[in-house]
Amino acid sequence: MVTGASRGIGAASALRLARDGFDVALTYGSDADAAGTVAEQVREHGVRAHAVRMSATDDDPAAILAGVEDALGPVQAAVLNAGITRDAPAIRAGGDTWREVIDVNLTGTWRVAQAVVRRMRKQRSGSVVVMTSIVGQRGNIGQVNYAASKAGLIGLTRSLAREAAPYGVRVNAVAPGYVATRLTEVLDDALTERLLAATPLGRLGEPEDIAGPVAFLCGEKAAFITGTVVNVDGGLSF
């Protein structure tokens, strides 16, 4: 299962997992058409796809998971990718801006993670991959809310990994650097140039660059990895 899979890193992860032979459940927040397109692309790899709307804050993740399992069987891996930004300087950001980002990115991810791990504990196997960000490690101007939410996800990952490990369930996180998605389209040219200068690989990431490590952590080759945060940032030192 991949949350926030209608575009960007979520869509790329869904397609990579399909390429690796996983049936894929895709959740989306509002763009049903885009999610349907990704589902069709998943099916082109000869596996099954199931797209379902899921609000990070309102829907019952356990009920969504039950529907996913009815459609595709037990969830073996879950990529918790859904998230938003609401950027503003800290001294001008309103309380609603803070709460919305924390509610979706941190609390919403926790709600899904809790429901997923409950099911995986019963089957005594599974992998959870949480999408955090280097912003959660380094901070970023104008993104106090986003940075706090992503830092919280790192703590969530490491703590949940300890609780889930005795049941054969692994929990890891991927921390992307600056990736060419709609969330980075708003960056001005000067900031983009600074980022490129601080990135040894000399480019922004692509969603597919993140999807590879995600798929690795979901698979059997990562069977002895848990509680880890994998930075995928081109060596960024910004």
Residues marked as catalytic: 146
Q: Cβ neighbours of residue 172 under 8 Å, at least 6 residues apart?
A: 127, 128, 129, 130, 157, 161, 217, 222, 225, 226, 227, 228, 229, 230
Sequential DSSP letters for 185-206: TT--HHHHHHHHHT-TT-S-B-
User: For the CA atoms of the chain, what is the radius of gyration?
Assistant: 17
Confirm if 119 and 164 have CB atoms less than 8 A apart: no
Q: Which amino acid is at 237?
A: S
Number of Cβ atoms within 10 Å of the Cβ of 98 = 17
